[in-house]
Chain A
Amino acid sequence: MKDEVDSREDRVANLKGMGCSRKRVEDARFTQGKGNYVDDVKLDGMLFGDFVRSPYAHARIKSIDTEAALKVKGVLAVLTAKDLEPLGLHWMPTLAGDKQMVLADGKVLFQGQEVAFVVAEDRYAAADGIEAVEVEYEELEVIVDPFKAMESDVVLREDLVAEDGSLPDGAHGPRKHHNHIFTWEAGDKEPTEEVIANAEVVAEESMYYHRTHPCPLETCGCVASMDKVNGKLTLWGTFQAPHAIRTVVSLISGIEEHNIRVISPDIGGGFGNKVGAYPGYVCSVVASIVTGKPVKWIEDRMDNLMTTAFARDYWMKGRISATKEGKITGLHCHVTADHGGFDACADPTKFPAGFMNICTGSYDIPTAFLEVDGVYTNKAPGGVSYRCSFRVTEAVYFIERMIEVLAIELNMDAAELRRINFIKKEQFPYTAALGWEYDSGDYHTAWDKALKTVDYEGLRAEQAQRVEDFKAGKTRSLMGIGLSFFTEIVGAGPVKNCDILGLGMFDSCEIRIHPTGSAIARLGTISQGQGHATTFAQILASEIGLPADSITIEEGDTDTAPYGLGTYGSRSTPVAGAATAMAGRKIRAKAQMIAAYLLEVHDDDVEFDVDRFVVKGAPERFKTMKEIAFAAYNQAIPGIEPGLEAVSYYDPPNMTYPFGAYICVMDIDVDTGVTDIRRFYALDDCGTRINPMIIEGQVHGGLTEALAVALGQEIAYDDMGNVKTGTLMDFFLPTAWEVPNYETDYTVTPSPHHPIGAKGVGESPHVGGVPCFSNAVQDAFRAFGNRHTNMPHDHWRIWKTANELGLHD
């Protein structure tokens, strides 16, 4: 028998389990054009729906005339808020406890808002129909500045003001003004003020983290198909959380949940864009019910950028205090958060500003206070976590800029300032001033490794020489060294404090072992490029001793997969990955009993070894998992049910806290503002590494999205509320030409509470990358008096910075 001659090493390699760079099983179909994305779904008689959208950012709707549109060839129906109202579907609840118009109900609050839904035989007929819908608007005063919104008499949301003019509480408590949404606080206000007031050194800075957009290459869309014969609704869509979507659809439509099947097919990137519930989904479902036919809705790129899921838009004001030697004593942060016309932020219910209270970063800061004010403006709703856990990118950018500003104030090296303030290895688990319990970390080791690898001192010497040369007129190029040390908080999350619409943020895995020793596992998550079909099979291979190549991973079909909260915020590995390991261990526990029976020994006398159970002390007596699987189906074993299946619903005891050290070396042409990234070093510690190849790929991708955000990508509005960056002509997505090669590195500090010690990695590079690129730009100008400039650092803004510093004189 082959198994008997294979070495243990060969048997481990044969599994392709955790730690190996297994090639992806997804790739065969994607490289051959055989992916199945939502726009590839084609059903008999399928119709196409599309929106009439508002050209105005704030206007009253005086009338909507659909008569001409209904006469257009191929147009079957035009839905307006009036049609949805009898069903109670003209508004829908948001994830943030607010409500949002599905179709404009009397007014519009942002440019591109959905006004009417045209249902037609195909896309072209729908477009013709949209042209023929006549909407009469009365323009209202537009507010795109949250600070002005808080002072303006203009009421954006009349629906949130009582008849007597008073302001009822919002979902997160009292509101200060009719355009105010919530105030959210963390930490200790008075002690923080006191520490800062009495500090030896205080640095203050205001910074704007601009509005941007996740912009996956595939836009959002769905196909709704109501089968009136059996009463079942099937909804295919670009859903990062298919089970949550099923529950939401059930709650708002009244269709019982067992009669709804939600399917997330292949998803062309998500990055947070596909977490929320959008009017297109609701209108497609209604249109399918009305017409009795399947209805498809697919955003075009402009729709996508203008209306679904913006990210960031945080105005942050910070004060950080320290001793003369640089030991940080206190941190104060106030955020004015621009949420647009509806509060549709995708955060766990109890966290209206996400996990912004991770803003003490990687540092041992004894006293801190955070206050966030959410504000309505005439911009699109959203507020998703663009490749980050909830608002963590904002938090990390804030603290990593404050550290740099403090370093300037102290006239100190920013790397050293970080080092003397890091939470020490022996302090973990560490409870931060703003409440989180960091599970594990070894920041000093990572930082030292990073600085040594790039020869940090050598770089600083080169930079000083460059400044001299510049001042001497020998060069027009400056050199920036961007530093960033980040701590992420991912894996939401423990049901005790994390839920979305009341649904606990656990996740799940269900495994069936087939008689011949292969398996299928289904999870509550859904891959959007992360390679779950590859990596989750690796976790299982190591846990149950069957080769990853013999394990099918399936996600995204709510009729077959166990309930879970989906994939975003780097939660798949921390939560569903843990469920996978735990379900695998249940399989193994039963396999142990079967093995013991087959080997005629007591359960405790066998032990697991790679792909088999062996009799302790007699390794020549064993049963492979393959043999055990067969026995589970063909032997009557006393006291043991036939079959070999398990399910685990995993409620994580804590978040996981991946961290990393990034360094960017950048040359900047002072006269053109053009940046050249000469070197980028990224050290990530995501705990146990499941597939190094995929981790590296995630880091490359996250850094590139960080580069985009830091160096040019934004959703910009003019004063009239017009979106100035609605196409890929204006919205910066880097090409191969603009992107450097990255050097990746790692340390491994396993999570102590996760079954396999993994922490998640997909979002770390974005979270750590943005401040790193930004700090590089700002550092280049430090010698000339620069303290802080806002992102995005496109060529024009960099040129402007140089100009304002007198470098063109």
Chain B
Amino acid sequence: MSKKQHYTITVNGKEEEFLAEPRELLIYTLRERLNITGPHIGCETSHCGACTVTIDGKSVKACTMFVAQADGKGITTIEGIGGPDDLHPLQNAFKEHHGLQCGYCTPGMITRATKLLEENPNPTEEEIRFGMAGNICRCTGYQNIVKSIQAAAAEMSAAKEAAE
């Protein structure tokens, strides 16, 4: 074990300051220190994506990033994407199109999908499948996840067009 250091991270818009060992993985900082339990742990080797968060505009697997590496950065988790009063279109689409079953991969899946749609607002099915390949789901076989993302993309594009 090593000496505790002082870190500041901003999670879902809220600045958090604390002392932690540099070896602490970001996923534990979020889940155990800050009680943000939306991101989950599935493999601790970056394969499954259950822990996906957004850090400074990029999708990151929080299970393989040390808290020291996240110091000073801004982090968005599923809790910052939408809540009961302001659901993100993806959150709604996953329900409408049965894009989840046990729900364990869902926070990471939706968090990743928000980035995918930012990077590519009108993805083809192939682009969705490729863009989501870092997130594993054991229940759905992905077919309805793809459908959910397509539906959200269409809804978001339509809303954007209407706004312009």
Partner-B contacts on A (CB < 8 A): 23-24, 26-35, 37, 39-40, 42, 73, 122-125, 128, 215-219, 266-269, 271, 298, 300-301, 528-531, 693-694, 696-697, 700-705, 727-729, 733, 735-737, 739, 741-742
Contact = CB atoms under 8 A, between A and B. Distances in A.
A31 B136 contact: no
A741 B136 contact: no
A266 B101 CA distance: 11
A35 B39 CA distance: 10
A697 B144 contact: yes
Given A697-B139, A697-B144, A700-B141, 17 more contacts: A27-B95, A30-B103, A30-B106, A31-B91, A32-B83, A33-B77, A33-B78, A33-B79, A128-B1, A218-B42, A268-B102, A269-B104, A298-B41, A301-B42, A735-B136, A735-B142, A739-B141
B137 interface: yes
A648 to B, nearest CB: 27
B136 A727 contact: no
B14 interface: no
Contacts of B37: 33, 37, 39-40
A704 B45 contact: no
B133 A31 contact: no
Given A24-B95, A32-B79, A217-B42, A733 B100 contact: no
A217 B140 contact: no
Interface of B: 1, 21, 23-24, 28, 31-32, 35-45, 47-48, 50, 77-79, 82-84, 87, 91-92, 94-96, 98, 100-107, 110, 128-130, 132-146
Highest count of chain B CB atoms <10 Å: which of A42, A269, A696, A735: A735
Contact of A31 (B95, B139, B142): B95
Contacts of B82: 32
A217 B137 contact: yes
Nearest to B130: A737
A33 B87 CA distance: 12
14 contacts: A31-B91, A33-B36, A39-B31, A73-B1, A123-B28, A269-B104, A697-B98, A697-B144, A700-B144, A701-B139, A701-B141, A704-B142, A728-B48, A733-B136
A700 B143 contact: yes
Contacts of B83: 32
Highest count of chain B CB atoms <10 Å: which of A269, A701, A736: A736
Looking at chain A's contact residues, the main secondary structure is: loop
A298 B41 CA distance: 10
Given A124-B21, A741-B143, A217 B77 contact: no
A499 B117 CA distance: 51
Nearest to B94: A31
Contact of B145 (A27, A122, A736): A736
B124 to A, nearest CB: 13
7 pairs of A and B residues whose beta carbons are closest in the complex:
A33-B38, A30-B103, A529-B102, A268-B104, A700-B141, A529-B101, A704-B141
A742 B43 CA distance: 27
A531 B101 contact: yes
Contacts of B43: 301, 727-728
Contact of A217 (B91, B105, B128, B145): B105
A736 B139 CA distance: 12
B28 to A, nearest CB: 7
Given A24-B95, A736-B128, A729 B141 contact: no
A24 B103 CA distance: 11
B127 to A, nearest CB: 11
Highest count of chain A CB atoms <10 Å: which of B83, B132, B134, B137: B137
Contact of A28 (B79, B95, B130): B95
Highest count of chain B CB atoms <10 Å: which of A30, A215, A267, A300: A30
A667 B159 CA distance: 41
A37 B101 contact: no
A701 B138 contact: yes
Contacts of A300: 44
A301 B51 CA distance: 14
A728 B138 contact: no
A693 B92 CA distance: 16
Contacts of B132: 735-736
A217 B110 contact: no
A701 B38 contact: no
B102 A267 contact: yes
B40 A268 contact: yes
Highest count of chain B CB atoms <10 Å: which of A32, A124, A215, A705: A32
Nearest to B110: A31
A124 B137 CA distance: 28
A739 B132 CA distance: 12
Given A739-B142, A741-B143, A33 B39 contact: yes
Given A24-B95, A26-B103, A217 B50 contact: yes
B131 to A, nearest CB: 9
B145 A42 contact: no
Contacts of B94: 27, 31
Highest count of chain A CB atoms <10 Å: which of B35, B102, B142: B102
A301 B39 CA distance: 16
B98 A24 contact: yes
B146 A736 contact: yes
B26 to A, nearest CB: 14
B139 A529 contact: yes
B89 to A, nearest CB: 11
A26 B139 CA distance: 15
A506 B44 CA distance: 39
B103 A529 contact: yes
B50 A301 contact: no
Contacts of A697: 98, 101, 139-140, 144
A39 B157 CA distance: 37
Contacts of B98: 23-24, 693-694, 696-697
Nearest to A703: B141
Contacts of A702: 141
B144 A217 contact: no
A102 to B, nearest CB: 25
A267 B102 CA distance: 7
Nearest to A74: B1
A700 B140 CA distance: 6
Contacts of A696: 98
A21 to B, nearest CB: 8
A737 B95 contact: no
B103 A32 contact: no
Nearest to A31: B91
B130 A701 contact: no
